[in-house]
Amino acid sequence: MTDHAFLLICALLLDAALGEPRWLWDRAPHPAVLMGWLIDWCDRRFNKGDLRRAHGLYVIVALGGLAMALGWIVASLPLGSVFEVVIAAILLAQKSLVDHVRAVANGLRQSLDAGRRDVRMLVGRDTADLDESAIARAAIESAAENLSDGVVAPAFWFLIGGLPGILLYKITNTADSMIGHRTERHEEFGWAAARLDDGLNWVPARLTAAFIALVSGVPGAWQAARREGPRHRSVNAGWPEAAMARALDLALSGPRSYGGQMTDDPILNPTGRRAATPEDIETACKILWRVWAAMVGSVVLLALLTRLAG
């Protein structure tokens, strides 16, 4: 684990410095895009017949095995450690997440339409009728959830399993985002991907909530995550969202519209403010960076303790 910790520190620093350079990804497909193409092909090829749940299980097992095998091969190459750091940095999303969340604050300062345009890059809900507060809350909710999905979870699985671990996580998470929704087409075929993604995110989501509570310094943030997180429709997303809600004294989540249909999601931190502002988004971005710093410090400490113990 010591070697993985050192490589993870390098990857976290590289991602924080460079993010996702447009000059590169305008010319080459991002690894997540390649994963998406493969998952889409599997969906079209195997999502049929009377045994769709079994087909979906076989597909996610095959995709996960392929991802782990590829990670092992790359890590075994000459200069494999360099490739591990670069690929891990690409699959982490700290800087790009902060950039996208902060863009919503900047957009809102220009106009309501600009805020709606920018938040649409982060969320899947209907945005046409959102006011400033709803746009700001949506950006903050996405920031909390994606901090777990896009930063803490991939870092956690790289620390545990190196490049095979992070590739397994990313292809599962990508599959869940594409076929894990409870729609008529994917109810059965995407079941295995959704359940595996829930399992892989269980620990990272709670770690994210703990980090948010720690760096915010707000009393009761961790207790709020434990109390209110399980009320969320997602087994994992509610934890970091509840911690962020308490940290910012905002009421987050609650009913929202998807495809014209309103959900009945409970409000997290219901006694908090509903009138979120661009300044609240900026504060959330500061928390994202503080969590990143706490992660780096934790990995450094773990590496030192492991080396001393060895």
pLDDT tens sequence across 202-242? 999 999 999 999 999 999 999 999 999 998 888 999 999 99
Residue 201: how many other CB atoms lie within 10 Å? 27
pTM: 0.95
pLDDT tens sequence across 78-111? 999 999 999 999 999 999 999 999 999 999 999 9
Name the residue with higher pLDDT: 167 or 1: 167
Predicted confidence band of residue 38 (pLDDT cuts 50, 70, 90): very high
> Which residue stretches of 148-253 are H helix?
153-179, 191-216, 221-228, 238-248
167 close to 70: Cβ distance less than 8 angstroms: yes
- d(C-alpha 89, C-alpha 18), whole Å: 9
Distances (CA, A) of 227 to 7, 158, 215: 35, 29, 19
Per-residue pLDDT, 193: 97
The bridge status of strand 257-258 relative to strand 252-253 is: unpaired
Per-residue pLDDT, 262: 82
Per-residue pLDDT, 232: 87
Per-residue pLDDT, 195: 96
Question: Could you give the 3-state DSSP secondary structure of residue 186?
Answer: coil
Whether residue 180 is predicted with pLDDT greater than 80 in this model: the reply is yes
Distances (CA, A) of 139 to 32, 60, 147, 266: 22, 30, 12, 18
Residue percentage of the chain with pLDDT more than 70: 99
Per-residue pLDDT, 310: 67
Selection from 139, 136, 132 nearest residue 99 by Cα: 139
Average pLDDT over residues 49-60: 96
Per-residue pLDDT, 1: 66
User: Which residues lie below 8 Å from residue 248, measured CB to CB, with a gap of 6+?
Assistant: 140, 272, 276, 280, 283, 284, 287
- d(C-alpha 228, C-alpha 215), whole Å: 19
Question: Could you give the 3-state DSSP secondary structure of residue 265?
Answer: coil
Whether residue 15 is predicted with pLDDT greater than 70 in this model: the reply is yes
Q: How far is CA 266 from the centre of its chain?
A: 21
Predicted confidence band of residue 3 (pLDDT cuts 50, 70, 90): confident
Average pLDDT over residues 248-259: 89
Domain boundaries, the chain: 2-309
